[in-house]
A and B are shown apart, each in its own frame.
Chain A
């Protein structure tokens, strides 16, 4: 039963494998270039297992100690998981002990496969989703650790490699921009962050920016409701 599920899950994870290995290697490499031992990317990729947040955590570790801001930033960056969870309430039912791991390892990529792919009838869907999640988790930890170890061996001028995180978010921004005609949310995030950066400075702008974003989006929803009622 497990082997069947593994064989059904593997092909779906191959494209993720390529992406996770490459991105994981650059993540591990970046951490190594900032002076962290390979144990950091190894344990962070294993325990956090949320790619963009792990990149952000590097900056948190390099800045002054502020666990409260780190906590709220994590909630904001990963808020999308709440809605993945809501979408998977039904699918993860009746998976036994595997359910805990399925929720723990619910990254964007595992979610997108588990949410959309229907395994063949003869395959146990619980084990199928388990192997999708497990393989993606494995690729990511391998990539991150490999990158950090490579960074110790390969010597070159890595000045500017931290831009890989900016590049990641630029590409995600473009992809999201193309997904919808309504760009108000994207612009709200960008503008609120810029305004708060100017007023609060680079060390303290994240929390006020998040409050302002939620406020603006809520006001926008209210005005939309009023327009609909009229």
Chain B
């Protein structure tokens, strides 16, 4: 990607983000009630998008390293660690550290 293309990509992401933030204030200027279908999607989409993003994160694992075993080990670890400590930052830190240890020593 050239620098111009990089700036354009970032601009598009900023634009998309700002649309999601400003749109309701344009559509419902005086607190008009949004339709039921939109409210429904608003309730369920956040749950579905995280699943999509998880797959998005893992999409290139197989082609990059030829295996998804370190990812699976680290994810299972995070699930149990998070159930135990219930601290978002600790779970992210410990899971990432374990993954780095695995790919640097056993799956390189």
Chain A residues within 8 Å of B, Cβ to Cβ: 18-19, 22-23, 26, 40, 43-44, 47-50, 52-53, 56-57, 59-62, 64-65, 67, 70-86, 89-90, 92-93, 103-104, 106, 157-161, 163-176, 180, 185-194, 197, 202, 205-206, 209-210, 213-214, 217-218, 220-221
Contacts and interface: CB of A to CB of B under 8 A. Distances in A.
B104 A157 contact: yes
Interface of B: 1, 5-6, 8-10, 12-25, 28, 31, 34, 37-60, 63, 70-71, 74-75, 78-79, 82-83, 88-89, 91-93, 95-96, 99-100, 102-104, 108
A81 B39 CA distance: 12
B95 A167 contact: yes
A213 B96 CA distance: 29
A189 B57 contact: no
B104 A193 contact: no
B58 A166 contact: yes
A43 B37 contact: no
B50 A82 contact: no
A170 B44 CA distance: 18
Query: Chain A at the B interface: mostly helix, strand, loop or mixed?
Result: helix
Contacts of A23: 89, 92
Q: Most chain-A CB neighbours within 10 Å: which of B25, B37, B70?
A: B25
B79 to A, nearest CB: 6
Contacts of A167: 74, 78, 91-92, 95-96, 99
Contacts of A72: 16
26 contacts: A23-B92, A26-B96, A50-B17, A53-B17, A65-B8, A65-B9, A67-B8, A71-B12, A71-B13, A74-B16, A77-B49, A79-B20, A85-B20, A85-B21, A104-B18, A157-B104, A160-B100, A167-B74, A168-B92, A169-B57, A186-B51, A189-B49, A189-B52, A202-B59, A213-B49, A213-B52
